[in-house]
Amino acid sequence: MKFLMSLMIGFTLALCAAGFSSKAQANDDPIVIGAAIALSGFVAPYDDGPLKGLQLAVADINAKGGVLGRKLSVVTADTKSDPAQGTNAAIEVLEQGAEMVMVTCDFDFGAAAALQATAAGKVTFSSCAGDPKFGVQGIGPLAYTMSLGTPAQAATLAEWAYKEKGWRKVYVQMNSMVEYFKSLCSNFKIRWEELGGEIVGEDVYNFTEVKSFEGQATRMKQNTEKDFVFMCAATFDGPSLIKQVRNAGENTPILASESMDGNFWLEAVPNLSEFYLSVYGSMFGNDPNPQINDYVAKYTEMHGQAPFTAHSMTGYSLMEAWALAAERAGSFDSDAIRQELDKFINEDLLVGPTSYTPELHINLYRGMQIMEVQNGKHAPITRYTAEKVPPITF
pLDDT higher than threshold 60 for residue 238: yes
pLDDT higher than threshold 80 for residue 7: no
HEC states along the chain?
Answer: CHHHHHHHHHHHHHHHHHCCCCHHHCCCCCEEEEEEECCCCCCHHHHHHHHHHHHHHHHHHHHCCCECCECEEEEEEECCCCHHHHHHHHHHHHHCCEEEEEECCCHHHHHHHHHHHHHCCCEEEECCCCCCCCCCCCCCCCEEECCECHHHHHHHHHHHHHHHCCCCEEEEEEECCCHHHHHHHHHHHHHHHHHCCEEEEEEEECCCCCCCCHHHHHHHHHCCCCCEEEEECCCCCHHHHHHHHHHCCCCCCEEECHHHCCCCCHHHCCCCCCEEEEECCCCCCCCCCHHHHHHHHHHHHHHCCCCCCCHHHHHHHHHHHHHHHHHHHCCCCHHHHHHHHCCCCCEEECCEEECCCCCCCCECCCCEEEEEEECCEEEEEEEECCCCCCCCCC
What percent of the chain has a predicted confidence (pLDDT) above 70? 93
pLDDT number for residue 26: 54
Regarding the domain with residue range 2-148+290-354, which homologous superfamily does it belong to in the CATH classification? Response regulator (3.40.50.2300)
Please indicate whether the domains covering 2-148+290-354 and 150-279+368-384 agree at the CATH topology level. Answer: yes
Per-residue pLDDT tens for 119-163? 999 999 999 999 999 999 999 999 999 999 999 999 999 999 999
pLDDT higher than threshold 60 for residue 19: no
Q: If pLDDT is split at 50, 70 and 90, which confidence band does 188 have?
A: very high
Mean pLDDT of 233-261: 97
Per-residue pLDDT tens for 322-369? 999 999 999 999 999 999 999 999 999 999 999 999 999 999 999 999
Mean pLDDT of 62-80: 98
Q: If pLDDT is split at 50, 70 and 90, which confidence band does 25 have?
A: very low
User: What CATH architecture is 150-279+368-384?
Assistant: 3-Layer(aba) Sandwich (3.40)
pLDDT number for residue 27: 72
* pTM across the whole model: 0.90
pLDDT number for residue 61: 99
Q: If pLDDT is split at 50, 70 and 90, which confidence band does 46 have?
A: very high
pLDDT number for residue 53: 99
Higher pLDDT, 72 or 23: 72
pLDDT higher than threshold 70 for residue 21: no
pLDDT higher than threshold 80 for residue 392: yes
Q: If pLDDT is split at 50, 70 and 90, which confidence band does 1 have?
A: very low
pLDDT number for residue 140: 98
User: Mean pLDDT across the chain, nearest whole number?
Assistant: 93
Per-residue pLDDT tens for 78-111? 999 999 999 999 999 999 999 999 999 999 999 9
pLDDT number for residue 10: 43
Q: If pLDDT is split at 50, 70 and 90, which confidence band does 2 have?
A: very low
Domain boundaries, the chain: 2-148+290-354, 150-279+368-384
